[in-house]
Amino acid sequence: MQLNTDCTAKPRHCSQQGFTLIEVMLVIVLVGVMISAVQFTFSSSKPEQILQQNSARFAGIFDLAAEYGLLNNVELGLFVKENTYQFLGYDGVQWSPIADNPLFEEFTLPDNVEISLQLDDLPIEEPLLFDSSLLITEEDTDSFFEEEDEEKKIIPQVYMLSGGDITPFSLTFSFAEFTFDDDENVSFKVSGIYSTPLTIEGPIANDSSR
């Protein structure tokens, strides 16, 4: 007896084939988390490799954060301060750390490594896709500029919209004081123009007189 394998004849006996977009993106995020967990657990003593490792970590986590915002329909932001960076979520009222996501928590760079955020003078030919001031309330602005006894609210410098758009920016990783005699003074630059993935440039030779 020949079995009928035509799904059009008996659709209830035929399972759905393929994956949905959400399932595919979830796999991408999970794979990215596993790769980052393996790739960034090692440490290096060579200056160029230290900068390369930290710039690659940042780019990887930023891309994961953008995917997270897209999947969860939430606006995210990047806050850079001195030698640290962290990712924040916007709940419609204020910016706050993203709960239950260790990868997005504040990360402190190794000693002597510094980062420089650039938002202007980038090769941008189109107007900005969104107004970042829409995500900053008057209360946020007051708390940012005024000294208060309570902890100040954190306002990100780079925004990641739930639709996938990001603030154009570049983040340069370099050494605050270069003391390695056997290696060239270099830096690595991570850039994002409107969308992910980010691009990494380097090693870039710096002025030796620095």
Q: What is the pLDDT of residues 22-76, one digit of tens each?
A: 665 666 666 655 555 444 444 456 888 999 999 999 999 999 999 999 998 999 9
CATH of the domain at 140: 3.55.40.10
Q: Residue 122 sits in which domain range?
A: 16-205
Q: In this structure, is residue 4 part of a structural domain?
A: no
Q: In this structure, is residue 133 part of a structural domain?
A: yes
Q: In this structure, is residue 210 part of a structural domain?
A: no
What is the torsional sign of CA 43, 47, 52, 57?
positive
Q: In this structure, is residue 2 part of a structural domain?
A: no
Q: In this structure, is residue 63 part of a structural domain?
A: yes
Q: In this structure, is residue 36 part of a structural domain?
A: yes
Residue predicted with more confidence, 18 or 127: 18
SS3 138: helix
Q: In this structure, is residue 153 part of a structural domain?
A: yes
Residue-level pLDDT at 209 = 54
Q: Could you tell me the pLDDT band of residue 84, with boundaries at 50, 70 and 90?
A: very high
| Percent of the chain scoring above 70 in pLDDT | 58
- Number of structural domains (the chain) is 1
pTM: predicted TM-score of the whole model, two decimal places = 0.69
Contact 183, 51 (CB under 8 A): no
